[in-house]
């Protein structure tokens, strides 16, 4: 066994620690937040990778994010959506994730598993998806859907 002479610990353990510390600092997402995303996704029967893509696009993993339009928290829920999804504390990571994941699951069910339509509805509202009979012609919504699906499918 090779030891790190300065601290008398096995070299392999030292190397593993250095690599894990480097990868943790390179990632903007804490292990704790990734676990919360995973737990909320699984609870709502969603792929954690999809929820992570939504969070990345919506808030950049910023728990305190607030848009100019008033959307709040990790998954950028609007006040009306927060009320209907029973999100009492939109800036509380777990409350935001659980409520928004439930809403996303409802949209996916509504559109019979069509992620494109569900994501468009999450962004622009189901009424707009119905009105335009598909992804609304809003550049923001079209870009939003493409970004999330691209991240999700990587």
User: Cβ-count burial of 28 within 10 angstroms (0-12 exposed, 13-18 middle, 19+ buried)?
Assistant: exposed
The answer to the question of residue 38 being in a domain is yes
pLDDT at position 4 over 70:
no
What are the respective helix, strand and coil percentages of the chain, to the nearest 5?
65, 5, 30
Q: How many CB atoms lie within 10 A of CB 150?
A: 11
**Whole-number pLDDT of residue 90:** 94
What CATH number should be reported for the domain holding residue 92?
A: 1.10.530.10
Secondary structure (3-state) at 3 = strand
pLDDT at position 77 over 70:
yes
Question: How high does pLDDT run on average in the chain?
Answer: 86
The answer to the question of residue 5 being in a domain is no
The answer to the question of residue 91 being in a domain is yes
pLDDT tens for each residue of 23-58: 444 456 799 999 999 999 999 999 999 999 999 999
CB 85 within 8 A of CB 102: yes
Q: Find the domain containing 92 and state its range.
A: 31-153
Catalytic residues: 58
The answer to the question of residue 71 being in a domain is yes
Q: Report which secondary-structure segment, H or E, holds 41.
A: helix 31-43
The answer to the question of residue 24 being in a domain is no
The answer to the question of residue 15 being in a domain is no
The answer to the question of residue 145 being in a domain is yes
**Which pLDDT band holds residue 82 (cuts at 50, 70, 90)?**
confident
* Number of domains observed in the structure of the chain: 1
* 33, two tokens: 């937040």
- Position with higher pLDDT, 18 vs 133: 133
The answer to the question of residue 13 being in a domain is no
pLDDT tens for each residue of 83-114: 888 899 999 999 999 999 999 999 999 999 99
């Amino acid at each position: 066994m090779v030891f790190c002479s300065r601290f008398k610990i096995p070299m392999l353990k030292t190397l593993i620690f250095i690599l894990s510390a480097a990868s943790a600092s390179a990632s903007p997402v804490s292990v704790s937040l990734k676990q919360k995303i995973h737990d909320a996704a699984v609870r709502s029967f969603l792929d954690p990778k999809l929820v992570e893509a939504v969070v990345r696009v919506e808030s950049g993993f910023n728990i305190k994010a607030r848009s100019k339009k008033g959307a709040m928290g990790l998954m950028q829920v609007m006040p009306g959506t927060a009320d209907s999804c029973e999100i009492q504390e939109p800036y509380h990571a777990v409350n935001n994730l659980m409520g928004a994941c439930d809403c996303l699951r409802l949209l996916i069910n509504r559109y019979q598993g069509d992620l494109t339509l569900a994501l468009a509805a999450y962004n622009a509202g189901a009424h707009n998806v119905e009105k335009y009979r598909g992804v609304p012609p809003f550049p923001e919504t079209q870009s939003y859907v493409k970004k999330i699906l691209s991240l999700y499918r990587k």
